[in-house]
Every structure is written in C-alpha cells, then in structure tokens.
Structure 1
Amino acid sequence: MQNGSLGFLRNENKRKVLQRIIDEEPTTRVQISKDLSMSKPTVSSLVGELIEEGWIIETGSGEASSSGGRKPVKLRFNAKNAYCIGIDIGGTGVVLGITDLQGELVNLKEFETQKNLGEKLLVEIKTQVDVMLSESGIDKQNILGVGVGVPGITNLETGIVVEAPALKWSNYPARKKIEEILSMPVFIDNDVNVSLLGEKWLGKGRHASNMIYISVGTGIGSGIMLQGNIYRGSNYSAGEIGYMVTDRQFASLYKPTVKGYGFLESVSGGNSIGEHLSNRLEREVTSLEAFELYRKGNADAIEVVTVAIENLSIGIANYVSLFDPEIVILGGGVTQSFDVIQPMINDILNRYTPRSCEIVQSAFGKKAGVIGAVALVLNEHGGLFTTKREG
C-alpha cells in the first residue's frame, strides 16, 4: 500500500472512480467516463494514479482482436493492496484474523479469554497479531487499521469500555491501550454492533436496512440497525437485551449467574443454561452438553433448555414488535444448537407478534466478530471498500 494514509480520498473524483470500479468491476475507462459524466482525459489521469498506487489493476492487452477491433483494457479493484485486522474479544475466547479489503480471510487465530485477563490479554493479542503478520508475510505498513469488538458498553468516540463484566473492565481505555501495544490505528465498538456490521457487509443482512443481530453466548447482547444505521442510544448502551425482563414471577427470584449480568442472560445465556442443568444433575454440564441431552430426551435438560429458549424467544418477540425488522440474525456459541432454538422462537413469534419475521443463523460462526471488526475499520474510511457485488 503506497498511500497508507488514504490521503487520496480527499480527491473526490478519484474516490468516485475507485468506487465505480469496486461496484462494477470489471469495467473500462470509457464506461467510467459515461457512468460518472466525467471527461475521458480526467478519468484516464485518475485511473493512472490509482494503478500507480496499487488500488486497481488492468486486465486484457488492449491489442487488436481477430475481428479487427481492439480488446478493451478492463479495470479491477486490487483488494490485496491493503489489509485489515479484526479482533473479537469474547467472554470465553478471543478470535483474531487478517483479511483483505473484500473480507477474504488470510489468517485466523484464537485463544481463551479467562486465562488471559488483565494486562495478559493485551500481551497475548500483540503476540498473536505478530504471529499472523509473520505467517502471512504482510508488512505492518500495509495494515489499514485494527477493528476490535468488546463484550460490553463501549463509547465509540473515546474508545473507553464503560462496562464489560466478563473482562472485569470498568471505564477502561481499551482503544488507547491496544493502540499502544500494536502501534496501529484502532477502532473499537460493542461486539454485537461489530458483528451486525459484518452481516450487513458480507453476511445474511446484505439486503436489509432494518435488522437485529443477537449474540447468545456467555451473555446475551444485540445490535440494532435502523434505516441502514446502527442505533446506539444516548449512552452507547442500546441493544442490551440481556437486561430485558421476560418473566415477572421469575424476576422476583432473580439472581444473576455472573456479577453484572442482566435477567435474560441469567436465564437464557450459555453460562446460565449450563449452571442450571449442572445444579439439577449435580455434576458440571456445559450449554453444548445441555442441548445434546435435550435431543436425547433427558427430562431435566428439556425443562432447563425450554425455559431458557422460551424467555429468549419472548425477548426476540418484543424486539420484532417494537422495531419491525426485516430479519433477525442469531450468533454466538448457543446458536450452534440452532436446530433446537429456531422452532421454539418461530412458535413464540407466531403467537405474540403482529407480523412474522425471518430468523436466521449467522453466516460466519466464530468468524463473525472478525469480519465485523474489519467492516468497522472500513466504515471509518467512508465505507469505500465495503461494497461487494453478488456473483
């Protein structure tokens, strides 16, 4: 990447030409001139600069064909002229990846969160980033930026994580700390907002302007997109569905399974499902095992899982009634059991919402946060690179 600062974006005409190539590739100078009502000499000059800077490449020779006419030189976007790093910090695990500018994954790493709390977390992030860069043969100068998703309320402007119980962070200057260890520009947001961006860019939400992304993992969180924009609320805490109360009688007995967690995630989150069934069976059971026992007909597992998913479904029904989304996307570890979850959710929605809504599983699995974090970086550059055509 010869222009690491992306200063060329200040040239609006050059930006328009590059965006046209990204949207319509392969295309030609003549076609760009027609599409943008821009003179051919101007287009040729801007294309020349973009080729020199490595942002686009030419295909085709331009030589005469057998029929006598010249074959047009086609222009394509060079998605490997720069790269991005995405980091998804979850309560259970951290997933890191490097992608090109169209989201193609180059390298992926992961490590456990709870074994690396405090300053150890930052050290391990730096170690894994250095390993990925080395293994991929990518120079740090070719990294456009680092996107980070965090499981907690995050001030997008200051980069301060207001509260992240799973990480034991309170008013923690996460962006500053991560920038210091990586010496790269860092962009940070709540992890579900980040995953929502990834689904909008390359996932199940590409054609939706109003959608909800809900992550059901250690805790439960959600991202809300209205008219194509993420709704964050007045204190960056919109979408904290984990605090929703879905059962009045149960709420009177409510005790959080994890300090700082809300009612719904203490009933329906992965940790709570495992803990509630463990108490019944008097042995340690994970949420994944709980769903396996459910499928085998274990009575205790059926009761625990049913209560958990019914409460989750009521929360989703409330969202659908309030926001009228085109689609609800579910991600997180608990949704590995989507075959069990989906029918229960659909049943509740059919009974309690004014209209139906499509419920789908995330397109990315554990890569969701990484892809979304990369989309967060690209959005900071005006969304220039976040367009990808079907095909």
Structure 2
Amino acid sequence: MQRGNASYIKKVNQKRILTCVREEGSISRANIAKKLSLSKPTVSTLVDTLLVEGWIREIGSGEASINGGRKPVNLTFNPEKAFMIGIDFGGTNVALGITDLNGHVCAYRDFPTQEHLNNDLFNVIKQHVDIMKKELNIDSQKILGVGAGIPGITNIETGIVKEAPALKWNSFPVREKLKEIFDFPIYIDNDVNINVLGEHWKGVGRGKNNLIYIAIGTGIGSGIMVNGRLFRGSNYSAGEIGYLVTDRVYADQYHPVYEGYGFLESIASGSSIGNRLSELLGKKVTAKEAFDLYQQLNRQAVEVIDFALENLALGIANYVSLFDPELVILGGGVSGSYSIIREQMVKIIDRYTPGTYEVLPTAFGKESGVVGAVALFLKESDTLIEI
C-alpha cells in the first residue's frame, strides 16, 4: 500500500513539475522547487527521470556568471517527445491531423466523407495517417493515442454512436472500427464537445472555465464547459441546442430539414437558411451565397436571415440565462459571417438576458476539430500532460 502511495505521489509530482516547465517556458531546478514547495533533492530526482524519458530538455551552458558562481541550467518542455492523432468526422469532410504535445498541427489531411462513408472510410483514414507519419518521419511508438469527434450523440464509455444523422449512423461502434486500424488508446466524443475543449486549451476560451461553444453549420450543436469540465448530461446528449423551440407559432409548421434534426436547426442552421432562400428564389443557393445576398440587401435574403438570426439569438439568450457562461463561442460555417450578424445578434441577446455576455467567433480554421480531438485525448487519458 505504501509503495502504491509513493508511486502515486511520484507521478503527481512529475505532472506538477512538467506542467510548471511547460507554463514557464524556461525554468531552473531551484525555481521549480521554490514554486512548487518541493525539496531540491525531490525535484532533482524527478527532473532526471523526465530528462531521461525525453519529456524535458536542458538549455543554457551552466557557465560562470559575471558575479561568479555557475549560471543555472534551465529546463524546457519537449513538445516532440510524442505525438497524437486527431480525427474530426464531419458530414461533408473528415479532417485528420497529427499534433505535437503543444497541440501544434504538424501534418493535416481532409477528404470527402460521403464518397467513402459506406465502403472504405476507415481504411482511407489509416492510409492518410500512414502518409502523415511518413512525412513527419515518426513511427507508431511516438504516437500516444487518438482522439475523435463525432457529429452526433456519442456514448464515450462504450464507444458507440447512438445517432449521427449527418453520417447516417445509428448504434454505430465507432471505437471498435478505429481499433481495427489503430493499436493506440482511443477516446471519442461529440464534435462540439471536443471543440469546446480545443477552445479552452488553445483558442479564445483560454483561461476561462465556464464556456459555451455553439457550432452553426448543417445543423446546430453546442458544447458546455462548467468549472473547467465538460457537461455531457445523463445520456451524453447535453447541449442539443438545435432542438430548442424559439417560436411557438412557427413551431406548428415545424418540419426538420433532415431526419433527426430539431426545431432551431430547421430555421437557423446554414443548411436551412440556404434551403429556405432557394425556395423563395427558385434556384439553388448555399448559406454563403445567402449571406452575400443579405449584404446586398436582397429582400428575400434579408427576410430569411433576419428570421433565422432572431431565433438563433433567442436560443442563445435562453442558454446564457441558464448557464451564466464567461464566454459564448460561435463556430461552424455560419460563424464566418459573424461580422455581418454580430450587431443584430448581440442586441437581441442583451435584451432578453439578465446580464451582458461576450460572444466571439472561433479563432480556429479548418484544423479546429483536430486540435479539439487531441485536447479530448489529453483530457481523458492518463498521461503526464495535463490541460
């Protein structure tokens, strides 16, 4: 029992030291001991282990300073000690990346989902990962594990996707499928959950522990972080903002854009905006084209988008009144038009909420899902890296 306790304390202190080195960028052994209130011999022993294992490096010569005595050798984190694979399963594209321990995307690939969905999807994923490993000149021993995001309700314990309409998956054993191609630890979660983790780690949510991330694209979903932890709900379906009803009168005419999608998605998602405007104009219009027409003050575009924005803002207002977040982050395709819709959206949110809430677009580009998936892996796995 005592040996077990000693082993546990050693690992905890290793994590603390490694976190300290990562946060400081460059720090001496003596300053680590002072900062963490650990004895110098304890720090020295644990640092030696971390050096041998390659988690940290020494920098500086240790030569005498101008005041005499030896200049301390500083320690710095080695982000290339190991790498991780991030996978973002989207209804349109699958995004793949290999990152270092700092979340820097060292290699990236994406490919169309629907072309491969019903036949060789997982083999194509493996092929792309193998190519990226070759590019980076790393082998499987350098890979810590895999994180993956799914656009649907996902049981993180069993690895089964209960429902993902964009992928036409129902009770789909995605972890099992990934284990057939990867011999690594694998963690999966809903795609907006991984996005809120990525924003908290490396994005605009850094330093904030109460966040809501709302993705507005083909559908509308959200991830919720409360006190630094994901709130998943009792059935892993917390954050299904797309099911909110924001217009009682219009709800009588509710017809989902796609099977399995909710009311708010049917009037305020990118796909619903494009579909509704296409019906009015009698020609196919994408969400991006709809926002271009909106800026040109096209009457039908203004009608469709103003209605969508009002309902979206009402949904967000309900959300923030319940959770009182430090920040609301908008992601997904529609977030690219945030500068166009910001003023109107914030005005409605402020009108119906008890306080003023900050709403910002994500700062991530196409790599957001990869970074989020890697953040999931680090959050859930038992490694020395803590985020």
* Bucket of the pairwise TM-score, normalised by the shorter protein: over 0.9
The residue matched to 2:33 in structure 1 has which SS? Answer: helix
Aligned equivalent of 1:83: 83
- Structure 1 window deviating more from structure 2 (301-310 vs 50-59): it is 301-310
The residue matched to 1:261 in structure 2 has which SS? Answer: coil
- Structure 1 window deviating more from structure 2 (81-90 vs 34-43): it is 34-43
Aligned equivalent of 2:53: 53
Looking at structure 1, the residues matched to 8 and 118 of structure 2 have their Cα atoms a distance apart, in angstroms, of 39
Q: Deviations over 1:121-161 (max 9, x none)?
A: 21221122112111221212111111100000011111111
Looking at structure 2, the residues matched to 86 and 136 of structure 1 have their Cα atoms a distance apart, in angstroms, of 15
Aligned equivalent of 2:156: 156
Aligned equivalent of 1:71: 71
Looking at structure 2, the residues matched to 201 and 375 of structure 1 have their Cα atoms a distance apart, in angstroms, of 7
- Shift of residue 99, structure 1, vs aligned partner: 1.0
- Shift of residue 212, structure 1, vs aligned partner: 0.5
Looking at structure 2, the residues matched to 35 and 270 of structure 1 have their Cα atoms a distance apart, in angstroms, of 49
- Shift of residue 9, structure 1, vs aligned partner: 9.2
2:358 counterpart of 1:355: no
The residue matched to 2:200 in structure 1 has which SS? Answer: helix
1:181-200 mapped onto 2 (5 Å cutoff): 181-200=181-200
Looking at structure 1, the residues matched to 120 and 315 of structure 2 have their Cα atoms a distance apart, in angstroms, of 36
The residue matched to 2:246 in structure 1 has which SS? Answer: coil
- Structure 1 window deviating more from structure 2 (286-295 vs 136-145): it is 136-145
Aligned residue pairs: how many? Answer: 381
- Shift of residue 326, structure 1, vs aligned partner: 1.0
Whether the 8 Å CA contact 2:18–2:385 is kept in 1: the answer is no
Q: Deviations over 1:308-347 (max 9, x none)?
A: 1111111101001111111100000111111122122101
Aligned equivalent of 1:337: 337
Cα 1:176/1:72, change in 2 over 3 Å: same
- Shift of residue 381, structure 1, vs aligned partner: 3.4
1:297-308 mapped onto 2 (5 Å cutoff): 297-308=297-308
Cα 1:9/1:342, change in 2 over 3 Å: farther
Structure 2, gaps ≥5 residues long: 1-6
Whether the 8 Å CA contact 1:86–1:371 is kept in 2: the answer is yes
Q: Deviations over 1:144-202 (max 9, x none)?
A: 11110000001111111110011011111111111211222211000000000000101
Aligned equivalent of 1:143: 143
Cα 1:251/1:10, change in 2 over 3 Å: farther
Q: Deviations over 1:3-39 (max 9, x none)?
A: xxxx999733323322222232311111222233333
Whether the 8 Å CA contact 1:201–1:386 is kept in 2: the answer is no
1:192-271 mapped onto 2 (5 Å cutoff): 192-271=192-271
Structure 2 counterpart of 1:258, one-letter code: Y
The residue matched to 2:254 in structure 1 has which SS? Answer: coil
Looking at structure 1, the residues matched to 24 and 382 of structure 2 have their Cα atoms a distance apart, in angstroms, of 18
The residue matched to 2:367 in structure 1 has which SS? Answer: helix
- Shift of residue 369, structure 1, vs aligned partner: 1.1
Looking at structure 1, the residues matched to 313 and 374 of structure 2 have their Cα atoms a distance apart, in angstroms, of 30
Of all paired residues, the percent bearing the same amino acid is 56
Cα 1:375/1:383, change in 2 over 3 Å: farther
CA RMSD of aligned residues (A): 1.7
The residue matched to 1:19 in structure 2 has which SS? Answer: helix
- Structure 1 window deviating more from structure 2 (107-116 vs 188-197): it is 107-116
Looking at structure 1, the residues matched to 83 and 101 of structure 2 have their Cα atoms a distance apart, in angstroms, of 6
- Shift of residue 232, structure 1, vs aligned partner: 0.8
Structure 1, gaps ≥5 residues long: 1-6
When the two structures are superposed, what TM-score results if normalisation uses the length of structure 1?
0.93
Whether the 8 Å CA contact 1:102–1:386 is kept in 2: the answer is no
Structure 2 counterpart of 1:99, one-letter code: T
The residue matched to 1:284 in structure 2 has which SS? Answer: coil
Looking at structure 1, the residues matched to 291 and 10 of structure 2 have their Cα atoms a distance apart, in angstroms, of 53
Aligned equivalent of 2:43: 43
Whether the 8 Å CA contact 1:201–1:375 is kept in 2: the answer is yes
Looking at structure 2, the residues matched to 294 and 12 of structure 1 have their Cα atoms a distance apart, in angstroms, of 55
Q: Deviations over 1:286-319 (max 9, x none)?
A: 1011101111111111111111111111110100
Aligned equivalent of 1:328: 328
